[in-house]
Amino acid sequence: MTQAKILVVDDEERMRSLIRDFLVRERYTVIEAANGEEALEKFFDTKDISLILLDVMMPKLDGWQVLAEIRRYSKVPVIMLTALGEDRDEIKGFELDADEYVTKPFSPRVLMARVAAILRRQEESSAAPLVMGGLKLDRVARELTVDGRPVDLSLKEYELMQYFLENPGVALSRESILNHVWNYNYYGDARTIDTHVKKLRSKLGPYGDRIKTLWGIGYKLEAEAPDHEES
């Protein structure tokens, strides 16, 4: 994954420059942010960020706050970078769902090895199909099959189905769906989601009723088929 986009967040320009030089040498695309607020702006303005290298101690918003906000919308891998060395800081990072925790000073070569390992795992994971009963989404071929039959989906219907299958049984708010599928800067309304969900349900055949409407919240894809009472 040589063209992966990596967001480097650190308020020290010297540190950002050091990390950027090593990443560019490995042919990654680098996006930089000098504080927490800028990090969130860059993250939500940029599609397909593969990994975030995130400093903890920063002005405006610290790394913990940035990580917590990103985790509301994305599972993108995050490596925390910090001069803090106490166990409770590392534990806090993992409680907030950081993927790794690197204490400064660190070897840039070791950091590059960790970056490569995480991106390799991410690539392997994203290549695996998403399967639920008779629904199978092939993320390599970008194709959905229902009981073995290919289903013709628009781009947004496909991305919506992928988001549902990646979060089975999870209540997904309309805001979350808009941010994830239409991206953060989309200024549509809930009717856009409702229209796409209606079309998607009609294409899923007997599995269409697995997408449940949560009134006042959004939608949820039931992990198991709902029970039907005999008439």
Q: What is the pLDDT of residues 182-197, one digit of tens each?
A: 764 455 566 788 889 9
The domain boundary, picked from 96, 127, 158, lies at: 127
Same domain membership, residue 80 and residue 151 = no
Q: Are 178 and 162 in contact (CB under 8 A)?
A: no
The CATH number linked to 91 is 3.40.50.2300
- Tell which residue, 143, 160, 161, has the closest CA to residue 152: 143
Same domain membership, residue 101 and residue 146 = no
In a domain, 194, yes or no: yes
Same domain membership, residue 121 and residue 61 = yes
Same domain membership, residue 52 and residue 140 = no
Is residue 61 left, alpha or beta, with left meaning phi > 0 and alpha meaning psi from -120 to 50? Answer: beta
In a domain, 230, yes or no: no
Same domain membership, residue 140 and residue 104 = no
Same domain membership, residue 158 and residue 92 = no
Same domain membership, residue 141 and residue 94 = no
Nearest 10 degrees: CA dihedral of 20, 23, 28, 33? -30
Q: Are 42 and 68 in contact (CB under 8 A)?
A: no
The count of structural domains within the chain is 2
The CATH number linked to 156 is 1.10.10.10
Same domain membership, residue 92 and residue 22 = yes
The domain boundary, picked from 92, 127, 162, lies at: 127
Same domain membership, residue 104 and residue 37 = yes
In a domain, 228, yes or no: no
The domain boundary, picked from 106, 127, 148, lies at: 127
Same domain membership, residue 175 and residue 98 = no
Q: Are 182 and 156 in contact (CB under 8 A)?
A: yes
Same domain membership, residue 161 and residue 122 = no
**What is the C-alpha to C-alpha distance for residues 63 and 56, in angstroms, rounded to an integer?**
4
Quote the domain boundaries for residue 172.
130-221
Averages of pLDDT over each 10 residues, the chain, 231 residues: 84 95 95 96 89 92 91 86 69 75 88 91 80 90 92 89 91 84 60 89 94 92 60 32
E-only strand ranges, the chain? 5-9, 29-33, 49-55, 78-82, 100-103, 130-132, 135-138, 143-146, 149-151, 172-173, 211-214, 218-221
Q: Are 154 and 200 in contact (CB under 8 A)?
A: no
Pairing, β 29-33 against β 5-9: parallel
Q: What is the pLDDT of residues 48-59, one digit of tens each?
A: 899 999 999 998
pLDDT value for 230:
37
Same domain membership, residue 82 and residue 13 = yes
The type of residue at 187 is Y
